[in-house]
Structure 1
Amino acid sequence: MSNAEVINIGIVGAGFIGEIHAAGYAHNPRARLAAVADIRPEKAGALAAQYGLKSYATLDEMLAAEKVDAVDVCLPSPFHREAVVQAAAAGKHILVEKPFAINLDDIDAMMAAVAAAGVRLMVAHVCRFMPEYMVVKSLVAAGKLGRPLFFGAWRESATPGWSWNNWLLDRNQSGGTIMDLQIHDIDISNWLLGTPASFSMHEIMAPGRPGPAHVVSNLVYDNGALAGLEAGHLMPASYPFTTGYRLVGEEGAVEFLSPREGEKQVLVYNGDGVTTLRGADLPPVLAGDPYAEELAHFVDCLLTGAPFRVSPAEARLAVATALKLRESANRGSGLVS
């Protein structure tokens, strides 16, 4: 594809994340939304009408009727495999939401289908496109903090109640809090530190609430670095979504605390000095929206042939890490109640 071309996108799944992706593509002149598919006609129709598109009940119908170059899969995790394999067989490039899947069999089937069809696939790990995480990655890559020793991250929210049929609260469909929420920080930790070699997870669940949990995970990496990750879906409804991280290196440290108000800032500590990065000091993202930035990256890589920031192998590693953490709890090194 030449740099003058536009990528035609078909979205399958018109729920919460499908709406976010549609809005993100609207900022990008190199992307053209072509159609929306969803088994719920009212959802597909409403999202399609917002952007002047046609809507379809199934991915099959959309692919038969519309000329699309890529399919954006915004379906619940259990349906990723079917949609990705179908899109690949039709010769379409694919963006699929995180997690890649909740088991490795589905992931391996998707990777095999993509390889056989000669198409490209990216998994939408959006944190890699957030300025605060782009900063810490660039500092580590440039050796500004010395050898990384420890990465700590946390991500807390009220119990999600917005998903279709509450599928996020069904651990058999979502993989639980570790796969839906902590997967973000697992991926970032692997992105910064490499391949984990040791796994330990503790999980607490509230009585009478079989879906959401509070999860604490510990990883030891091949290079000796440690990670401690906390994620919770048990906060009260009044509690605002909160996230942050701290990376400690041999020669410095960097910290991000999500603000309750005001702009984001990242603090970089070296020796006796501290540098505060905020606003214009942080890496720019399209329209100030990391989702728009992520989608623009996907489109640009399709047009130029450049590698994706998130490879399928890296997205697979995030899921494999979550599964090994969960297995460590099931073996008794963690606590499930």
Structure 2
Amino acid sequence: MSTLKVGVIGCGSIARYRHLPEYHANKNVEIVAVCDIVPERAEEMAKQYGATAYTDYQELVNLENLDAVSVCLPNYLHAPVSIAALNAGKHVLCEKPMATSKEEAEAMIEAAKANGRKLMIGHNQRFVASHQKAKEIIESGKLGKIYSFKTTFGHGGPEGWSIDGADSWFFNKEKAFIGAMGDLGVHKADLMRYLLGEFSEVGSFIETNAKSYSEVDDNAVCILRTENGVIGTLAASWAYAPGGDNSTIIYGENGILKLEADPEYSLIEEYRNGEVVNHKLSKIQTNEEGGQTTSHVIDHFANCLLTDKEPLITGEEGKKSLEIILGAIESMETKKIVSL
């Protein structure tokens, strides 16, 4: 295929600020269809991008002239809609968290395999320049043995970002299933797996203590242990106002890596011998910039389809990152450390 024909299901903020403009900017992609249960939203986006508007996702996924879809819907719809699209022979890019249970995630992976289609999960943290550089440094052995880490993703909450504000599905347990942990924590779980390998255990404190209208968690702190004994903390919050925090610090035998922890330098290497290396790299994405930055997710997905390569974040990868979050919920419920 020379031009990729795509459809976007869900015309809320993530579609408006990420998927649609990034597909539009890719010269190998044509947006042919958009879908939203609110007809005005679908029509507005269809008009903007020269696509056809739908209100029923089944109609969209069954279109013949369609190669792939982005699933930009509330969390509880990720699995059913992705599976319907895969069964209709379409490749799928699904927003995170990929599903609301391990079973759902497995059903998505199975549907991709059965239909010979690609399934990618939108974990954009792996594409951030500082994170890729940190992986390179860790793998080079320069840091020596890794001992510990702390990673944080917090901002003022989705009401400032979501198209529905405080009435957003993000705060509805039935639709979201999980709050800051699913919105932000799963990103950091994926990042730490990417940098440090698989995790074996998780413990957590998960609270709803910042937003009275929220039925889901808005503050969470987890302790994690990798299979080879690196221990650290992961915090996810919708209560970091006015400024957000998207930083990670990695502590090793020979020094420390600071990722997105400094306003000027995206990555700082500090070593025991006094050496300091400051990296000015392209900035991590934030929602505050009005979506002017690129997530690289769309370009990667399109490139994988056009060149028939496996995406960096397959369904299996998405599932492993989701399982850390599911383990954290279980830990909070049982008051025990959970084996993954």
- Superposition TM-score, scaled by structure 2 size: 0.88
Partner of 1:233: 238
Q: Is the 8 A contact 1:145 1:250 kept in 2?
A: yes
How far does the alpha carbon of each residue in 1:101-138 deviate from its partner, in whole angstroms, 9 at most, with x for none? Answer: 12111111111111111111100001111222222122
1:104-183 equivalence runs, <5 A: 104-161=102-159, 162=162, 164=164, 165-174=167-176, 175-183=178-186
Partner residue of 1:91 out of 89, 92, 104: 89
One-letter amino acid matched to 2:7: G
Partner residue of 2:316 out of 313, 316, 319: 313
Cα RMSD over matched residues? 2.2
Secondary structure, counterpart of 1:95 in structure 2:
strand
Unpaired runs of 5+ in structure 1? none
Q: Is the 8 A contact 2:62 2:88 kept in 1?
A: no
Aligned-residue offset at 1:170:
2.0
Q: How many Å separate the matches in 2 of 1:323 and 1:40?
A: 31
Q: Is the 8 A contact 1:244 1:258 kept in 2?
A: yes
One-letter amino acid matched to 1:158: G
One-letter amino acid matched to 1:45: E
Partner of 2:205: 202
One-letter amino acid matched to 1:28: N
Q: Is the 8 A contact 1:33 1:53 kept in 2?
A: yes
> Cα distance 1:251–1:201, how it changes in 2: closer, same or farther (>3 A)?
same
Partner residue of 2:23 out of 4, 22, 25: 25
Aligned-residue offset at 1:172:
3.6
Identity of aligned residues (%): 27
How far does the alpha carbon of each residue in 1:248-294 deviate from its partner, in whole angstroms, 9 at most, with x for none? Answer: 1222321024556xx55210123311111104799xxxx98342x11
Partner of 2:43: 45
Aligned-residue offset at 1:324:
0.8
- Count of residues in Structure 1 that have an aligned counterpart in Structure 2: 322
Q: How many Å separate the matches in 2 of 1:203 and 1:163?
A: 26
1:70-89 equivalence runs, <5 A: 70-89=68-87
- Superposition TM-score, scaled by structure 1 size: 0.89
1:254-269 equivalence runs, <5 A: 254-258=257-261, 263-269=264-270
Aligned-residue offset at 1:333:
4.3
Q: How many Å separate the matches in 2 of 1:256 and 1:229?
A: 14
Q: How many Å separate the matches in 2 of 1:324 and 1:221?
A: 14
Q: How many Å separate the matches in 2 of 1:34 and 1:141?
A: 42
Partner residue of 1:299 out of 297, 302, 307: 302
Unpaired runs of 5+ in structure 2? 285-290
Aligned-residue offset at 1:163:
5.3
Residues 1:327 and 2:318 aligned together: no
Residues 1:214 and 2:219 aligned together: yes
Partner of 1:248: 251
Q: How many Å separate the matches in 2 of 1:308 and 1:78?
A: 23
Q: Is the 8 A contact 1:36 1:56 kept in 2?
A: yes
Q: How many Å separate the matches in 2 of 1:281 and 1:87?
A: 34
One-letter amino acid matched to 2:144: G
Q: Is the 8 A contact 2:265 2:278 kept in 1?
A: no
